[in-house]
């Protein structure tokens, strides 16, 4: 008889205990809670019924390399007296559940046969598993209803097990990504380390903490390296020969921020966010900017609060400067872009990758996360589209307000005057940008 214990499994890991499916593939960065959740879930299942559980990794020179210690620690945290911890095994004295620990490399195929009765195989640090090891292991885990659990911090785009199972998962494979911010138990120390890394080296951050492979795929519209290049370019004084364009992205919901960005040609600067401001507050901020800096254009996103903002500013006599921009409306270049939002962001990307250097000044360091957030897609006509705002928000935990503010400075097509493209006139509004 098993006694009642209360083990708290974080939400993303619930399928471990309440779904039967052949492959449960968990991946993500450091601190996502994968190892702990796998250990807890297996211990719980091993109390309920007799299971043969193999804890596998590519290399295990001694038992110290394995999850033996983690399982032992969790047994003592929960006081699971049913389990007896032996040197190289853990067994449930009551129902006969057994955990064994093995390295796959250099296993001779005869020995691996001992795994044939396994109910659950947990492959830890699965990014190091070779194709060869997997090809031997997979048909060995052959008991009806047996499951393969995988925990992986992706290393490269083409980690063998990722390619074999997760890149195009079949109906018998569950793929779940978990990062430190999904882990309700993540220690503050790890969160601090993650945030620090995010500030210092964004590519490292994506790899270590977000679990992205080192060679980033080209799913993202804007690459981290292009943004970093712009952030490190020093162009001290704004070039006043270029017209000033201001992008204003008013908050849509309570938890969004109003973001404002200035741009003169190749320089984006004075990026600021404002929280919890009323429409009138924002109107006052924008009015002050118009009076002090005399921008050629102030482009406002008129979704949500922005419509009211536009009305107030127009009423105050700024109608010649402000422009209403609707992200969801048709693009100006309808052949290339699926909507206005994709068009403006696409122009940011072209601007960042122009021949002459561009610079972004952002002391708060949020523009990098924002600009590198959206994934790109194409519609049936091969026009650029961006990942939906709600999906980005779900993924990175906030809206890309600052990125949108910069994008808004590209609402009326205008590129650095240095880029001499034949269609330039089409983008130019009133010729003031040349």
Ligand X SMILES: Nc1ncnc2c1ncn2[C@@H]1O[C@H](COP(=O)(O)OP(=O)(O)OP(=O)(O)O)[C@@H](O)[C@H]1O
User: Given the rule CB under 5 A, which residues bind Mg ion?
Assistant: 35
Q: Is 34 in the site for ligand X (CB under 6 A)?
A: yes
Q: Is 32 in the site for ligand X (CB under 6 A)?
A: yes
Closer to ligand X at the Cβ: 34 or 341?
34
Q: Is 187 in the site for ligand X (CB under 6 A)?
A: yes
- Out of 66, 146, 183, 258, the residue judged to bind ligand X by CB under 6 A: 183
Question: Least Å distance between CB 35 and Mg ion?
Answer: 3
Partner touching 259 among ligand X, Mg ion, none, CB below 5 to 8 Å by kind? none
| Residue the block writes with tokens 């299971």 | 51
Q: Is 35 in the site for ligand X (CB under 6 A)?
A: yes
By CB under 6 A, the residues from 217 to 246 that bind ligand X are none
- Out of 23, 40, 98, 266, the residue judged to bind ligand X by CB under 6 A: 40
- Out of 23, 25, 33, 102, the residue judged to bind ligand X by CB under 6 A: 33
Binding segment (CB under 6 A) for ligand X, from list 31-39, 111-119, 219-227, 312-320: 31-39
Partner touching 256 among ligand X, Mg ion, none, CB below 5 to 8 Å by kind? none
| Residue the block writes with tokens 């939906």 | 388
Total binding residues for ligand X by CB under 6 A? 13
Partner touching 414 among ligand X, Mg ion, none, CB below 5 to 8 Å by kind? none
Binding segment (CB under 6 A) for ligand X, from list 26-34, 242-250, 340-348, 357-365: 26-34
Partner touching 30 among Mg ion, ligand X, none, CB below 5 to 8 Å by kind? ligand X
Q: CB within 8 A of 52, min separation 6: which ones? A: 97, 98, 100, 117, 118, 119, 120
Q: What angle do CA 152, 157, 161 make, to 5 degrees?
A: 45
By CB under 6 A, the residues from 118 to 157 that bind ligand X are 153
Q: Is 139 exposed, middle or buried (0-12, 13-18, 19+ CB in 10 A)?
A: exposed
Closer to ligand X at the Cβ: 60 or 349?
60
Query: Bridge-partner residues for 324, per DSSP?
Result: 300
Closer to ligand X at the Cβ: 56 or 302?
56
Question: Least Å distance between CB 46 and ligand X?
Answer: 16
Binding segment (CB under 6 A) for ligand X, from list 183-191, 298-306, 357-365, 382-390: 183-191
Binding segment (CB under 6 A) for ligand X, from list 32-40, 43-51, 289-297, 417-425: 32-40
Binding segment (CB under 6 A) for ligand X, from list 96-104, 179-187, 191-199, 412-420: 179-187
Residues that bind ligand X (CB under 6 A): 30-36, 40, 153, 183, 185-187
């Amino acid at each position: 008889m098993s006694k009642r214990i209360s083990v708290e499994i974080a939400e993303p890991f619930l399928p471990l205990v309440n779904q039967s499916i052949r492959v449960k593939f968990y991946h993500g960065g450091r601190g996502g809670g994968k190892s702990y959740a796998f250990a807890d879930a297996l211990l719980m299942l091993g109390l309920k019924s007799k299971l043969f559980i193999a804890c596998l990794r590519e290399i295990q020179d001694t038992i110290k390399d394995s999850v033996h210690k983690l399982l032992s620690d969790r047994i003592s945290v929960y006081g699971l007296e049913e389990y007896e911890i032996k040197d190289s095994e853990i067994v449930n004295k009551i129902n006969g559940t057994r955990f064994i620990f093995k390295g796959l490399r250099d296993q001779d195929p005869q020995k691996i046969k001992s795994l044939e009765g396994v109910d659950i195989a947990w492959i830890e640090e699965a990014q190091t598993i070779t194709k060869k090891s997997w090809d031997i292991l997979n048909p060995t885990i052959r008991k009806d209803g047996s499951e393969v659990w995988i925990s992986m911090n992706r290393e490269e785009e083409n980690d063998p097990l990722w390619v074999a199972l997760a890149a195009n998962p079949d109906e018998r494979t569950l793929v779940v990504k978990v990062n430190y911010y999904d882990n309700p138990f993540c220690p503050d120390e790890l969160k601090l380390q993650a945030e620090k890394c995010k500030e210092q080296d964004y590519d490292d951050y994506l790899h270590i903490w977000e679990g992205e492979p080192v060679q980033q795929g080209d799913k993202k519209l804007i690459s981290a390296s292009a943004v970093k290049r712009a952030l490190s370019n020093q162009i001290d004084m704004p070039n006043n020969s270029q017209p000033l364009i201001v992008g204003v992205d008013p908050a849509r919901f309570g938890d969004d921020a109003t973001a404002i960005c200035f741009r003169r040609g190749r320089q984006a600067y004075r990026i600021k966010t404002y929280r919890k401001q009323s429409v009138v507050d924002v109107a006052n901020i924008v009015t002050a900017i118009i009076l002090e800096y005399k921008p050629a254009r102030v482009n406002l996103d008129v979704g949500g609060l922005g419509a009211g903002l536009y009305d107030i500013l127009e009423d105050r006599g700024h109608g010649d400067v402000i422009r209403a921009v609707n992200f969801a409306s048709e693009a100006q270049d309808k052949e290339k872009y699926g909507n206005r939002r994709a068009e403006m962001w696409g122009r940011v990307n072209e601007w960042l990758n122009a021949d002459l250097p561009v610079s972004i000044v952002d002391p708060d360091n949020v523009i990098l996360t924002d600009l590198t957030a959206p994934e790109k897609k194409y519609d049936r006509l091969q026009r650029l589209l961006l990942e939906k705002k709600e999906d980005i928000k779900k993924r990175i935990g906030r809206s890309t307000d600052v990125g949108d503010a910069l994008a808004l400075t590209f609402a009326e097509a205008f590129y650095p005057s240095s880029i001499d493209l034949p269609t330039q006139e089409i983008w130019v509004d009133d010729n003031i940008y040349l």
